[in-house]
Amino acid sequence: MLKLHNLSKVYRSDEVETVALNSINIEIEQGEFVAIMGPSGCGKSTLLNIVGMLDSPSSGEYIFMDEDVAGYSEAQLSEIRKHNIGFIFQSFNLIDELTVEENIELALLYHNIPASERKARVAKVMDKVGIAHRASHMPSQLSGGQQQRVAVARAVVGDQAMILADEPTGNLDSAHGQEVMEMLQSLNEEGTTIVMVTHSPAHADYARRTINLFDGHVVTENLRAAE
Amino acid sequence: MFQNYVNIAFRNLFKHKLYSLINILGLGVGLAACILITMFVRDELNYDTFWSNADSIQRMHTTFNVPGREPFVTVVAMGPAKEAITTYFDEEIEYSTRFNGLRPIVKIGDKSFDENVHWTDPETAEIFDFDMISGDMRETLRDTSSIAINETMAKKYFGDQDPMGKVMTLTVYGLQRDYRVTAVFRDLPHNTVLDFQALVKIVESDFEENFSFLFSQWFSVNNNLFFKLRDGVNPERVTARWDEFADNGVALPLQSLREGTKPSDFIKFSSMPIKDIQLNAVGGGEMKPTGSMMNVIIFSSIAALILVIASINFMNLATAKSTQRAREVALRKVLGASRVQLLFQFLGESILLALCGLVLGLVLVELTSPLYSDFIGKDLVFSYVDPFNLSIIVGLVLTVGIVGGIYPAAVISGFRPAQVLKANKSAETSGSAALRSGLVIFQFAISIALIIAAAAVYGQQKYATNIDPGFNRENLIAIPGVSRRGMVENQQAFKEEVLRLPGVVSAAYSFDRPSTGNESNVSVTIPGAETDQSILIGRQDIDFDFVSTYQIKLLAGRLYDRNVARDSWPSTEGVEAGQILEANILVNKTALAKLGFGTPEEAIGRVIRIGRGEQRQQDMTIIGVLDDTKFQSVRRQMRPELYPLSDSSYLNLTVRYSGDGAAMADQIRAIWERIAPDVPFNFEFVTESVLQEFTEEERTATLLAVFSGLAVLVACLGLYGLASFTAERRTKEIGVRKVMGATVLDIVRLLLWQFSRPVLIANLIAWPVALWGLSSWLEEFPYRMDFWMLLPMCAGAGAIALIIAWGTVGGNAAKVARRNPITALRYE
């Protein structure tokens, strides 16, 4: 699915140079469920942003589905991103002024899909994550777990091949956190590649492989034995 | 605590530079506009309040209700009315006085000029207190050969010499007399309706022989007649009795007074306090152009509107920004601040901002007031020691600071700390967002309406100046004053010499020239008609070359012929009373309509009759019909006219030339000065004098354009600020949308649409209001542009507002849209 080769990210301000990622080599296969762990500031989120094409690497190669996208323009990246990658954030990032349904539909809005089909797909995915009864509610009227379910629905409604989840359970209590993890797991079982940043070892256990980052380096990669 | 407030206020001012800048700039411009307009309005409202007797001085007006035409309204009175009212209203009127500006030629040594000298009665010195430099006004006006001159005239003729005792010769209307300067007064201030350079005493016998109409006849109105009420007399006691006065006190020359009619049916007297004259001009005969209440109202409203727009900016930006202050408010509350304390803190901040705006505003006023004074033709200075001005300043700052600040202060101080400190919640209520769009709509509705109004005033002015006048205005020089002694005897020679100049195409004498506003009427009857009702028709005496010089179209019949004796106006010399004279006559198209003569062709050969005095009458056969010519202001209805071929009352020579006009005028001047060296030469280009009639409208249009431009500017400043804050507020949304695949263009479009909506809705409000207001404004013009012309103006104003709004929001939107979304999404 994707391959990072000698990939580095350096942030520069006037006086300091911060190396966020230092010559990282990672390969992720289609259908994998990968957890990325590490202490705060180790470069997890930077890695996720680069993988999600929201940020570009300072050097190195990024092969996504057999294309080296490292030098692509923003518009090209945006094009690849919107067809292939879905995002789930710690703070949900739902738009307060839009209803649940509209928030999910947003992911299809920029895809040239006719309105009727959009409606159908949104309805289907709302059923799937169990939020259909809240379709016309505003995000502020939902619990955290429900909001994250909406975010999940939004991430998958476009039939994205890969979902990037940045601490998806970080703002949730354990019951809701587990609910979301189970949802991700079932998505993975249906074939969606999932890359997740998390602090929780328990939630990392849902993944088949865990990558540990420290100071911009890959420290260990643990492969969980198949069940 | 206060120190803490001040610190925080100033730090906020500097921290949010854009916000502060927008507010201060908007307020500065708004306040400057307000102050400038206030100066104008205050000046207009205070005309003639400086006289000691201001409250008891009134002016008598005369209106003629002539059957068959609109009332002829004048602000002047008949000469004998002066004595008549003082006698009739003996208990009410203490003094009365006349002013009659005869424009004599003033000659000192070999210098001679036209001067604005007014003939007046000695009571002038009792009623008006002039600011004297030397001499005594009372003494001067009691003497038949003394003159009081103003400072400017003293300087002009005598330079640094003492003018007292100097002699000047005045020549006018058959009078020539030496006057000794016995008084010098300071120039009249601009804020009076009086206008003259010098005053001399009226001696009625001077004009008795040929010009008795000036002061001694009841049929002619040409005196500004002021009177002063006795102390404590209610003006009602005079105004209620004007009809009674007309019926009893006046020997009106209404020979045709029919059974059952009273003089007051035809003549209406009225009076007006001197302080009201400037803004309530009713008719012809003012000493100088007056102001208009309409303009005062219009500009006061604009000032208020601009201030409202600036205050709205203030309010909008403050509430939009309030989320940024939420944490501070929450903390202050946690630490024990009461809501009232917070309210005062934020009100104080907005007043501070308003103060900064005021400072900028005053700088702008100082910078622009010379230009502004010049433009509106008034000598206006903004004095900082004037209590009125100071109260205006303080009032404006407090109004704007409090009106603009109270709502945001109420909102901000009402934040609940628990909610705000929970971070992830937006502290803003949807209510204040809705209010903001409402206010933006309101701002733009005002701006759009103002743009439409400016366009309409301009359009009407263009329409009026470009309307086909019925003659060719180009290449015409009009020369007034040919009836003056010294020239009147040489009219024929003068014209012949002018015609000999190379480049002169033709030349014609006539009574009137374009744009003078003069009016001379005769009463016409139709012999054999069923009614004996007379019709009032304008009289314009012309010579043989008039029609060809002005290039007026002949609609039917023929022009005057030198070989037809009957074409010339017959003299009454030797004609017995009761006899009927005969002549041929040219009339204009409108006259046919008045007379009921059908088409021009049908009118040829019809006969009309006028009186020639001493029961003589004159029958005139219509031989030709001319197209209507707009010699008079297009602000008035076209009037019916007849054109006697009579050489006794020419006042003007009009010359049609080719080539350079200025050079032509110089050549004509040379001839004039040779033939009549004692008569000052004046001339005007007809195109210019027509344009001059519209200087007032042009001024209004320009001012309206400037101030509506300012209104739009201030509104856009607000929009810009609001757009930046909204973009700020929507950062997360924009980030999400971008992650979802939205392009920069998508985002820009989104933001543009958000701000286009209020502007579009503003159009829906502004259009009907502007259309309604302007169509009733246009009603006042007899010749007005088509109502439908307002529609493209509406569309244009809407488009301008939209484009400006887009320009304002677009750049900002693009900047925001280009930002990397992750910053927005990660760290909230």
Q: Which residues of B lie closer than 8 Å to A, measured between beta carbons?
A: 424, 426, 732-733, 735-743, 746, 820-822, 825-826, 828
What is the pLDDT, as a whole number, of residue B319?
A: 76
Average pLDDT over residues B157-181: 91
What is the pLDDT, as a whole number, of residue B92?
A: 94
What is the pLDDT, as a whole number, of residue B501?
A: 93
What is the pLDDT, as a whole number, of residue B555?
A: 94
Average pLDDT over residues B741-758: 84
- Selected for mutation to probe chain B from A77, A80, A106 (highest B CB count within 10 Å) is A106
pLDDT over 90 percentage in chain B: 37
CB contact under 8 A, A95 and B732: yes
User: Per-residue confidence at A50, pLDDT binned at 50, 70, 90?
Assistant: confident
CB contact under 8 A, A95 and B736: yes
Name the minimum distance, in Å, from the CA of B424 to any CA of chain A: 9
What is the pLDDT, as a whole number, of residue B401?
A: 85
Beta-carbon contacts of residue B74 (< 8 Å; ≥ 6 apart)? B61, B62, B63, B64, B221, B283, B284, B285
B253 shares its domain with B323:
no
Name the minimum distance, in Å, from the CA of B319 to any CA of chain A: 18
Tally the domains of chain B.
3
Q: Which residues of A touch B729 (CB under 8 A)?
A: none
Q: Rounded to an integer, what distance in angstroms lies between the CA atom of residue B317 and that of residue B440?
A: 11
What is the pLDDT, as a whole number, of residue B642?
A: 93
Domain with B307 in it: 2-43+294-464+695-729+753-808
B65 shares its domain with B171:
yes
Nearest alpha carbon to residue A32 among A227, A226, A207, A224: A207
pLDDT over 70 percentage in chain B: 94
Average pLDDT over residues B445-458: 88
DSSP one-letter code for B378: -
Average pLDDT over residues A208-223: 84
User: Per-residue confidence at B420, pLDDT binned at 50, 70, 90?
Assistant: low
Tell me, yes or no, whether B663 lies in a domain.
no
**Residue A54: which of B426, B821, B828 has the nearest Cβ?**
B821
Beta-bridge mates of residue A164: A87, A195
Run of H or E residues at B554? strand B554-557
User: Per-residue confidence at B476, pLDDT binned at 50, 70, 90?
Assistant: very high
pLDDT reading at B277 higher than 90: yes
b/e per residue B480-517 (b: at least 16 CB within 10 A): bbbbbbebbebbeebbebbeeeeebebbbbbbbbbbbe
B613 shares its domain with B532:
yes
Name the minimum distance, in Å, from the CA of B429 to any CA of chain A: 12
DSSP track, chain A: -EEEEEEEEEEE-SS-EEEEEEEEEEEE-TT-EEEEE-STTSSHHHHHHHHTTSS--SEEEEEETTEE-TT--HHHHHHHHHHHEEEE-TT----TTS-HHHHHHHHHHTTT--HHHHHHHHHHHHHHHT-GGGTT--GGGS-HHHHHHHHHHHHHTT--SEEEEESTTTTS-HHHHHHHHHHHHHHHHTT-EEEEE-S-HHHHTTSSEEEEEETTEEEEEEEPPP-
**Residue B736: which of A78, A81, A93 has the nearest Cβ?**
A93
User: Per-residue confidence at B783, pLDDT binned at 50, 70, 90?
Assistant: confident
Average pLDDT over residues A34-45: 86
**Residue A110: which of B733, B740, B825 has the nearest Cβ?**
B740
Tell me, yes or no, whether B70 lies in a domain.
yes
Express each pLDDT in B204-213 by its tens digit.
988 888 788 8
B24 shares its domain with B135:
no
B224 shares its domain with B118:
yes
CB contact under 8 A, A93 and B822: no
Name the minimum distance, in Å, from the CA of A196 to any CA of chain B: 15
Average pLDDT over residues B415-433: 60
pLDDT, averaged across chain B: 86
Q: Bigger pLDDT: B8 or B545?
A: B545
User: Per-residue confidence at B690, pLDDT binned at 50, 70, 90?
Assistant: confident
Residue B735: closest C-alpha in chain A? A93
What is the pLDDT, as a whole number, of residue B826?
A: 58
Tell me, yes or no, whether B601 lies in a domain.
yes
Name the minimum distance, in Å, from the CA of B799 to any CA of chain A: 29
What is the pLDDT, as a whole number, of residue B69?
A: 64
Residue A183 is part of a domain; what is its CATH number?
Answer: 3.40.50.300
CB contact under 8 A, B735 and A96: no
What is the pLDDT, as a whole number, of residue B559?
A: 94
CB contact under 8 A, A45 and B741: no
What is the pLDDT, as a whole number, of residue B828?
A: 40
User: Per-residue confidence at B431, pLDDT binned at 50, 70, 90?
Assistant: low
Express each pLDDT in A117-156 by its tens digit.
989 999 999 998 888 999 989 888 888 888 988 998 988 8
Lowest-confidence region among B168-177, B283-292, B580-589, B724-733? B724-733
Q: Which residues of B touch A109 (CB under 8 A)?
A: 740, 742
What is the pLDDT, as a whole number, of residue B113?
A: 85
User: Per-residue confidence at B103, pLDDT binned at 50, 70, 90?
Assistant: confident
B33 shares its domain with B58:
no
Q: What does chain B come to in residues?
A: 828
* ipTM exceeding 0.90, yes/no: no
Q: Which residues of B touch A106 (CB under 8 A)?
A: 736-737, 740
Structure tokens that stand for B82 in this block? 């002066």
What is the pLDDT, as a whole number, of residue B425?
A: 46
Express each pLDDT in A99-114 by its tens digit.
899 889 888 887 888 8
Q: Bigger pLDDT: B195 or B329?
A: B195
Structure tokens that stand for B63 in this block? 């209106």
User: Per-residue confidence at B430, pLDDT binned at 50, 70, 90?
Assistant: low
User: Per-residue confidence at B424, pLDDT binned at 50, 70, 90?
Assistant: very low
pLDDT reading at A77 higher than 60: yes
**Residue B732: which of A75, A87, A93 has the nearest Cβ?**
A93
Q: Which residues of B touch A154 (CB under 8 A)?
A: 740
B217 shares its domain with B69:
yes
Q: Bigger pLDDT: A97 or B606?
A: B606
Average pLDDT over residues B411-428: 62
Express each pLDDT in B524-571 by its tens digit.
888 887 766 778 888 999 999 999 999 999 999 999 999 999 999 998
Average pLDDT over residues B605-622: 88
Tally the domains of chain A.
1
What is the pLDDT, as a whole number, of residue B457?
A: 84
pLDDT reading at B337 higher than 80: no
pLDDT reading at B423 higher than 50: no
AA identity, residue A34: V
CB contact under 8 A, B746 and A96: no
CB contact under 8 A, B820 and A54: yes
Tell me, yes or no, whether B352 lies in a domain.
yes
Q: Which residues of B touch A94 (CB under 8 A)?
A: 736
Q: Rounded to an integer, what distance in angstroms lies between the CA atom of residue B687 and that of residue B476?
A: 8
Tell me, yes or no, whether B162 lies in a domain.
yes
What is the pLDDT, as a whole number, of residue B251?
A: 58
DSSP track, B747-800: HHHHHHHHHHHHHHHHHHHHHHHHHHHHHHHHTT-SS---GGGHHHHHHHHHHH
CB contact under 8 A, B740 and A55: no
What is the pLDDT, as a whole number, of residue B254?
A: 52
Average pLDDT over residues B172-189: 92
Domain with A181 in it: 2-223
Lowest-confidence region among B208-212, B385-389, B561-565, B692-696? B692-696
CB atoms within 10 A of CB B793: 22
pLDDT reading at B815 higher than 90: no
Q: Is the sign of the CA dihedral B327, B331, B336, B341 positive or negative?
A: negative
Residue A77: closest C-alpha in chain B? B741
Q: What are the C-alpha distances in Å from B124 to residues A72, B138, B149, B158, B198? A: 92, 8, 14, 26, 13
C-beta separation of B322 from B427 below 8 A: yes
Residue A74: closest C-alpha in chain B? B743
